[in-house]
């Protein structure tokens, strides 16, 4: 912690970057877009997305949103599919450590801003937290109607019949709604929105969440938002109501139920286990003494361990 | 108008030195933006802004100046109400620090600054945005607001858990009827920012307003 404390006293300011990389005019432009996004929940605000020192697809939209709201007293958590220590999360966390010198954390409850690639932490977010989503394709109607002029008009006229047809075709083909991620939602009874490719398991968390949600799509140059306590309804039918995935076993390491699980292959003989996708949640539960059915398995040992030293870095 | 614009810098230097902007442009603007963003995300709640260092020319207030320095630049045409428009120092301050073009037609403005809220022109005269691009509407910033002393209205909608009370003052007589009409045309409509002495509140177009029963 002492290392980051030193960084906060402006070491980087004398260096090559403005605080949090972006120049002030860019931040102002993005900040104005964020305000519009908040005022029109679920509406995609166009913004002049900048080229970032990372390729599109690495979360340039989320990074630009985070850089524009970030202050020197913030504490940042970066997750990639629920995990704090996978490639995308590690490199983006390093980006902000280098360009803004802010404190970072693995702990959901300690963070003031959580930037995420496609998961929402299992632990409910608080009013004083902000969650920033990295979005690849913000337009929920894009695969149904490729023309931006047309999708704009459809949003303007609240013409969302096509989306229901898509969900209906799912039922006709598969017997159930087969959309499992990027599951479309209706925000505040008005705009249909893509909650980014989060598993639909996380959709109920978006509804009336206490934290402010900001969504940034860098390549597609769109920002949108959901204010706290906004009604967000996953689209469905009366006879085919929205439901989330269910797992028939608990997390192998911490025994948690009703959480989103990742399948991990343990060997080349068919050995596998299911563990929490939210690595911080899993670790915290194990620290509290919860153990799952596979926690003692020697093959599973290397999966949960070895993280603590990185947190203290 | 062009004549006034040309003589402005001269006047400004004669009357007083140009008032400084943020002491720490990066972090002061960030701090003020977070206050405005949180205000917009939680309609009707008050959020403190650091204004002690700002000494903008009257009738621009420190909180109003902080909002202007945070949000305005060459991309944002700004409309000023009559009292602000009358002050060359205010126009000089905004032009120098933000570079924002000052426009005379409210419908052309991205932001409107109002120092005399009692004389506020109709909200409908500002840009309301279009059905396809509702984000192009004007954001109206009301200065000199006192919170808690005005007519109490009830707020509901995104950003509010159940309902909230809001009572800013001064606002013009038919103001709340206009705000209700503004909400009815959602997603089009203006957003409102209320700047007090050291606090900021906001009322996005998404907020549903109920007047007290009288």
In a shared domain, residues A191 and A280: no
In a shared domain, residues A30 and A99: yes
- Decide: A232 and A59 in contact? Cβ < 8 Å: no
Q: In the prediction, which pLDDT does B105 show?
A: 96
The domain boundary residue, chosen from A234, A251, A275: A234
Q: Are strands A222-226 and A45-46 parallel, antiparallel or unpaired?
A: antiparallel
User: B187 contacts in A (CB within 8 Å)?
Assistant: 40, 43, 190-191
CA angle A21–A26–A28, rounded 5-degree value: 115
User: A228 contacts in B (CB within 8 Å)?
Assistant: 41-42, 158-159, 161
Dist CA B212 CA B153 (whole Å): 6
Residue A270 lies in a domain: yes
CB burial string B138-168: b at 16+ within 10 A, e below: bbbbbbbbebeebeebebebbbbeeebebeb
Dist CA A181 CA A260 (whole Å): 12
In a shared domain, residues A146 and A213: yes
What residue numbers bound the domain in which A273 lies?
261-304
CB burial string B90-129: b at 16+ within 10 A, e below: bbbbbbebbebbbeeebeebbbbbbbbbeebeebeebbbb
Q: In the prediction, which pLDDT does A1 show?
A: 39
What residue numbers bound the domain in which B181 lies?
18-210
Residue A242 lies in a domain: no
In a shared domain, residues A163 and A214: yes
What's the domain count of chain B?
1
Residue A253 lies in a domain: no
In a shared domain, residues A267 and A168: no
In a shared domain, residues A205 and A293: no
In a shared domain, residues A165 and A277: no
Dist CA A245 CA A173 (whole Å): 19
User: At A170, which CATH number?
Assistant: 3.40.50.11310
A188 and chain B in contact, CB less than 8 A: yes
Residue B59 lies in a domain: yes
Q: Which residues 86-105 on chain B approach chain A with CB closer than 8 angstroms?
A: none
Cβ of A28 and B29 within 8 Å? Answer: yes
What lies within 8 Å, CB to CB, of A94 at 6+ separation is none
Q: In the prediction, which pLDDT does B11 show?
A: 45
Question: What is the block-wise mean pLDDT of chain A (313 residues), using blocks of 10 residues?
Answer: 42 69 96 97 96 92 97 95 91 94 94 95 96 96 95 96 94 92 95 94 96 96 97 95 91 93 90 92 93 80 53 39
In a shared domain, residues A115 and A201: yes
* Largest Cα–Cα separation, chain B: 54
Dist CA A234 CA A180 (whole Å): 12
What's the domain count of chain A?
2
In a shared domain, residues A106 and A141: yes
Q: In whole angstroms, how far apart are CA A282 and each of A85, A92, A265, A286, A292?
A: 13, 22, 18, 6, 10
A24 and chain B in contact, CB less than 8 A: yes
User: At B29, which CATH number?
Assistant: 3.40.50.11310
Q: Which of A61, A218, A255, A282 is catalytic?
A: A282
- Decide: B207 and B43 in contact? Cβ < 8 Å: yes
The domain boundary residue, chosen from A234, A252, A272: A234
- Decide: A295 and A253 in contact? Cβ < 8 Å: yes
B27 and chain A in contact, CB less than 8 A: yes
In a shared domain, residues A161 and A281: no
Task: Return the number of other C-beta atoms located less than 10 Å from residue A7's C-beta.
Answer: 17
Dist CA B44 CA B8 (whole Å): 37
Q: Which of A251, A255, A292, A304 is catalytic?
A: A251
pLDDT tens across the length of chain B (214 residues):
444 444 444 444 445 688 999 999 999 999 999 999 999 999 999 999 988 789 999 899 999 999 999 999 999 999 999 999 999 999 999 999 999 999 999 999 999 999 999 999 999 999 999 999 999 999 999 999 999 888 899 999 999 999 999 999 999 999 999 999 999 999 999 999 999 999 999 999 999 999 987 6
Q: In the prediction, which pLDDT does A9 show?
A: 43
User: B134 contacts in A (CB within 8 Å)?
Assistant: 40, 43
In a shared domain, residues A104 and A173: yes
Question: Which residue reads 């009301």 in tokens?
Answer: B142
Residues B73-114 have pLDDT tens digits of 999 999 999 999 999 999 999 999 999 999 999 999 999 999
Residue B83 lies in a domain: yes
Q: In the prediction, which pLDDT does A307 show?
A: 46
For the CA atoms of B24, B25, B29, B30, the dihedral, rounded to the nearest 10 degrees, stands at -70
For chain B, how far is it from start to end, CA to CA, in angstroms? 46
Residue A87 lies in a domain: yes
Helix (H) or strand (E) run with residue A65 in it:
helix A60-69
Question: Which residue reads 């047309």 in tokens?
Answer: A150
In a shared domain, residues A212 and A286: no
């Amino acid at each position: 912690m002492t290392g980051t404390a030193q960084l906060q006293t402006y070491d980087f300011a004398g260096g090559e970057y403005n605080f949090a990389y972006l120049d002030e005019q860019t931040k102002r432009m993005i900040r104005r877009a964020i305000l519009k996004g908040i005022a029109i929940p679920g509406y995609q605000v166009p913004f002049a997305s900048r080229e970032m020192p990372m390729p599109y697809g690495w979360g340039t939209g989320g990074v630009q949103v985070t850089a524009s709201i970030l202050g020197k007293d913030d504490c940042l958590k970066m997750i990639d599919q629920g995990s704090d220590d996978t490639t995308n999360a590690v490199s983006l966390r390093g980006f902000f450590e280098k360009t803004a010198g802010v404190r970072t954390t693995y702990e959901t409850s300690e963070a003031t801003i959580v930037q995420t690639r496609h998961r929402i932490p299992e632990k409910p977010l608080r009013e004083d937290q902000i969650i920033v989503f990295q979005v690849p394709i913000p337009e929920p109607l894009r695969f149904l109607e490729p023309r931006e002029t047309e999708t704009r008009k459809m949003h303007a006229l609240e013409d969302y019949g096509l989306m229901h047809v898509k969900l209906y075709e799912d039922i006709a083909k598969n017997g159930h709604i087969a959309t499992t991620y990027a599951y479309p939602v209706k925000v505040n009874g008005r705009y249909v929105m893509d909650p980014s490719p989060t598993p639909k398991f996380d959709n109920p968390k978006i509804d009336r969440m206490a934290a402010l949600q900001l969504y940034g799509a860098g390549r597609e140059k769109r920002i949108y938002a959901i204010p706290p306590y906004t009604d967000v309804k996953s689209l469905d039918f009366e006879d085919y109501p929205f439901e989330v995935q269910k797992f028939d076993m608990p997390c192998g390491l911490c025994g948690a139920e009703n959480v989103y699980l990742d399948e991990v292959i343990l060997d080349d003989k068919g050995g596998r286990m299911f563990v929490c996708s939210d690595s911080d949640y899993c670790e915290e539960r194990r620290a509290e003494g919860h153990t799952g059915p596979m926690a003692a398995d020697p093959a599973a040992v290397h999966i949960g361990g070895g993280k603590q030293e990185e947190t203290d870095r | 108008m062009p004549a006034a614009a040309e003589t402005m810098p001269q006047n400004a230097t004669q009357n007083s030195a140009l008032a400084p902007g943020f002491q720490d442009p990066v972090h002061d603007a960030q701090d003020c933006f977070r206050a405005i963003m949180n205000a917009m995300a939680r309609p009707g709640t008050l959020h403190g802004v650091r204004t002690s260092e700002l000494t903008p020319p009257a009738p621009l207030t420190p909180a109003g100046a902080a909002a202007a320095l945070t949000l305005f630049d060459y991309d944002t045409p700004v409309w000023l109400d009559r009292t602000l428009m009358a002050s060359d120092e205010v126009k000089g301050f905004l032009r120098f620090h933000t570079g924002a073009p000052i426009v005379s037609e409210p419908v052309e403005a991205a932001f409107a600054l109002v120092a005399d809220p009692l004389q506020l022109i109709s909200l409908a005269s500002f840009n309301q945005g279009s059905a396809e691009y509702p984000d192009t509407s004007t954001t109206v910033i009301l200065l000199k607001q006192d919170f808690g002393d005005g007519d109490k209205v009830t707020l509901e909608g995104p950003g509010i858990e159940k309902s909230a009370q809001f009572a800013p003052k001064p606002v013009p007589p038919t103001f709340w009827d206009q705000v209700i009409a503004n909400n009815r045309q959602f997603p089009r409509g203006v957003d409102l920012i209320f700047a007090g002495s050291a606090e900021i509140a906001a009322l996005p177009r998404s907020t549903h307003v109920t007047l007290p029963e009288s």
